[in-house]
Amino acid sequence: MSAARMQVLSSRNVRLLSRGRNEVFAGRSGAQRPGGDPRTRSLTCPPLSSSSSPGRALSSLSATRRGLPKEKMSENGIMSRAKVLTIDTMNPTVKKVEYAVRGPIVQRAVELERELSEGMKKPFAEVIKANIGDAHAMGQQPITFFRQVLALCSYPELLSDSTFPEDAKSRACRILQSCGGNSMGSYSASQGIDSVRQDVARYIERRDGGVACDPDNIYLTTGASDGIVTMLKLLVCGEGTTRTGVMIPIPQYPLYSAALAELGAVQINYFLNEEKCWSLDITELQRAVNEARQYCNPRALCIINPGNPTGQVQSRQCIEDVIRFAAKERLFLMADEVYQDNVYAEGLELASFHSTSKCYMGDLRFSLSLCFVLCGFRGGYMEIINMDDEVKDQLTKLLSVRLCPPVPGQALMDLVVNPPQPGEPSYGSFIKERTATLSALAEKAKLTEQVLNTVQGISCNPVQGAMYSFPRITIPEKAVKEATETGQQPDMFYCMKMLEETGICLVPGSGFGQKDGTYHFRMTILPPTDKLKILLNKVKEFHQRFTQQYS
């Protein structure tokens, strides 16, 4: 054995290595453990050079050859390794993930809130977060019956409290009886609580005019996002030109682009027609799929209806055309219908993909429907139709890895699809609260469209559904140039300026996708009407100042 190799194994080096970890934990000041244990004293010997310690040099060289992080010299002479996980060694697909709804502008909004709380002077008194569809955070009152039942399920001792209505108590008892140990703190089946899935199936049948729905096709999820990502995991495979491609609308909800980036799938963009109220054109779908087949394997088509961020509701004829197209092109159809109950346009109804597809399901390979995202409670469901039985088994296995969706979210989902019925004690208050909420949203949707369309340089399509508007803005060339020079998208530059000057937090359209040369922002219509009026007036004044400044 060579002298160098012997040096690596010498007793002095072994002692240094074995003591090093304890000495680091003990601190670098030479402090001893309570009781004066001398074993934790810090090293006082000078740093070893490669010439005085060839073993250490060889050890470092060997680590480098193995691709391990190189050792670094710390201030007190202890050799330390670089971190195992760095920005260069982490999963590269994660670095490609972007989620504009909670991006840099939102982070800056949080900083501004903190600065305001510390007494710093700003040209505004508060930050108005109009970037996200979080109804309760915006002041929308929760449905009383829902909260009563959840309270009873969480603390069953309240079942003897006479202040709770009897229908809330009976509903809580039914939910608890479906839970292991009669407790909402227990796990459920991975697919979800059986009784809740049965109620979801009955809800779908009522919604779709009697079209049959099998509870075995219902999967409860941790919000709609969880269902979307789970299905994409089943779909993504292949390499190179055989890699799975997924068609998504532009503008789109950035969950889709983020999930596809993380999974390494190919994003296939098809553009909604802004001039026709963000309608979907089959010729555009055909263009997108034909071009994509040159570089990937298109396998799925995502439809968001009502639209997010665009707020449109697709016509029944459009949906029928989409179903025929998916069947013809052998595409897995993912129908995101989260906002199906939020339809405001007069005389307009949502035609669900389930009800519309009953004539075509024999040809359609698969279908997925996602409904109701319950925000902080993270409740949702997906309905799987015409899926291969073996793939369904794999889906169940995939869901089993995560055990189950949160049981409180499942309980709330049961209440959403099976609310108080006529003749029950809570029916009157439920209808009153639900009607008031939807009426207020319809009023705010109309108000948003009307005010924004009075501003020169802003055009806003009607907000037919969901809870967002996606107006188009004109940005002067001078502002575009300044944004480009600072490495920002022009609409990001615009929205950041608005935040700093007005305290209004919006999301730039570039975070959702848009046609080249066009600029937008997304804002929610959820703030209370009085605050929404202030918000819209501030947007109007800012746009006028911004345009004048950069003209």
Report yes or no: 367 and 335 within 8 Å, Cβ to Cβ.
yes
| Dihedral sign (CA 104, 540, 304, 225) | positive
| Residue-level pLDDT at 343 | 63
Phi, psi of 40, rounded to the nearest 5 degrees: -105, 15
Burial class (CB in 10 A: 0-12, 13-18, 19+), 220: buried
| Residue-level pLDDT at 428 | 92
| Residue-level pLDDT at 482 | 92
- In Å, the largest CA–CA distance within the chain is 93
| Residue-level pLDDT at 425 | 93
Strand 380-385 to 218-221 pairing: antiparallel
The C-alpha atoms of residue 236 and residue 297 are separated, in whole angstroms, by 10
Domain boundaries, the chain: 3-81, 100-139+434-549, 189-405
| Residue-level pLDDT at 359 | 36
pTM: 0.71
Which residues, in sequence order, are CB contacts of 359 under 8 Å at separation 6+?
A: none
The C-alpha atoms of residue 197 and residue 58 are separated, in whole angstroms, by 63
Q: Using alpha carbons, select from 466, 517, 470 the residue that is nearest to residue 495.
A: 470
- Is domain 189-405 given the CATH code 3.40.640.10 in the classification? yes
| Residue-level pLDDT at 46 | 44
User: Tens of pLDDT along the chain (551 residues)?
Assistant: 444 444 444 444 444 444 444 443 444 444 444 444 444 444 344 444 444 444 444 444 444 445 555 555 556 666 667 777 777 777 777 766 666 556 788 888 889 989 998 989 998 988 888 887 666 666 677 888 998 999 999 898 888 899 999 999 999 999 988 888 888 777 777 788 888 999 989 888 887 778 888 898 888 887 777 778 888 888 888 888 999 999 999 998 888 888 888 888 899 999 999 988 888 889 999 999 999 999 999 999 988 888 888 878 878 888 888 888 988 898 988 888 776 666 655 554 444 444 334 333 322 323 343 333 356 667 788 888 778 888 888 888 888 777 888 888 888 888 888 899 999 999 999 999 888 888 888 888 899 999 999 999 999 998 887 788 899 999 999 999 999 998 889 999 999 999 999 999 998 998 888 888 899 999 888 888 888 999 999 999 999 999 999 98
Q: If you ran DSSP here, which 8-state letter would residue 345 be given?
A: S
Which residues, in sequence order, are CB contacts of 424 under 8 Å at separation 6+?
A: 167
Report yes or no: 525 and 531 within 8 Å, Cβ to Cβ.
no
Phi, psi of 402, rounded to the nearest 5 degrees: -95, 15
- Is domain 100-139+434-549 given the CATH code 3.30.420.140 in the classification? no
For every residue of 479-497, which 3-state class applies, written as one string? HHHHHHHCCCCHHHHHHHH
